[in-house]
Amino acid sequence: DAKTTQPTSMDCAEGRAANLPCNHSTISGNEYVYWYRQIHSQGPQYIIHGLKNNETNEMASLIITEDRKSSTLILPHATLRDTAVYYCIVRALGNQFYFGTGTSLTVIP
Amino acid sequence: GAVVSQHPSWVICKSGTSVKIECRSLDFQATTMFWYRQFPKQSLMLMATSNEGSKATYEQGVEKDKFLINHASLTLSTLTVTSAHPEDSSFYICSARDLRTPDEQYFGPGTRLTVT
């Protein structure tokens, strides 16, 4: 599976949109982009995933560039409870999830 | 739906003893379960893939004789840390793949193991 690169940490003001970038320049055509988050001392929580089209659900939006070499997770109105480590994972269907280092997002009151 | 539980949520054991951690899919059947280990301030590291009724597949560098995995039913996988040492102290997380939605993977809440 392709590797991903994410910033180590980010801050976001409460109520503002949080935009978390991810680079996956070696992604293959059959690999999806997944986002999970992990709140301290809990198991990872699924957020969203996509192949090439932008996706939106009740938690977030996923924007994937046309060349699929990068993506952005958008939390439209960040709250304090969104403080967590966010993992971007590239994975072909049926394969295991391998986690990178993730981005530690801190939402500031 | 798609809830995965782990038991216990935390455990303290003495060096040299063995400890078993259970992972259950509560409302779905999981032919495949996965075990991860996470040290403080680090990411999750995949340890092994467990398929129901067959031997687990271990990632490179993971000792299969030390971390015994059993997946005897479609809803239960167990990880036994044998002859535990303080360096085995970690956060152990399992996940499960739902038969109905094999694209998804659902994670348990984790088990904190402390070896004294």
**HEC string for chain A:** CCCCECCCEEEEECCCCEEEEEECCCCCCCEEEEEEEECCCCCCEEEEEECCCCEECCCCEEEECCCCCEEEEEECCCCHHHCEEEEEEEEECCCCCCCCCCEEEEEEC
Note the pLDDT tens digit of each residue in B87-100: 999 999 999 998 78
The whole-angstrom separation of Cα A19 and Cα B70 is 41
Judged on CB neighbours under 10 Å (0-12, 13-18, 19+), B49 is middle
Task: Check A97 against B110: CB less than 8 A apart.
Answer: no
Interface test with B, best of A96, A99, A103 (most B CBs within 10 A): A96
Average confidence (pLDDT) over A73-93: 95
Give yes or no for a contact between B4 and B95, defined as CB atoms under 8 angstroms apart.
yes
The alpha carbon of residue B43 is apart from the nearest alpha carbon of chain A, in Å, by: 5
pLDDT confidence band for A92 (50 / 70 / 90): confident
Residue B57: is its pLDDT beyond 70? yes
Comparing CB atoms, the residue among B44, B93, B104 nearest residue A46 is B104
CB contact under 8 A, A42 and B110: yes
Are B102 and A94 in contact (CB < 8 Å)? yes
pLDDT at B38: 96
Does the pLDDT of residue A6 top 70, yes or no? yes
- A100/B43 Cβ within 8 A: yes
Residue B16 touches partner A, C-beta closer than 8 Å: no
Question: So what's the pLDDT on residue A41?
Answer: 87
User: pLDDT at residue A2 above 70?
Assistant: no
* pLDDT for position A93: 81
The reported pLDDT for the residue numbered A83 is 98
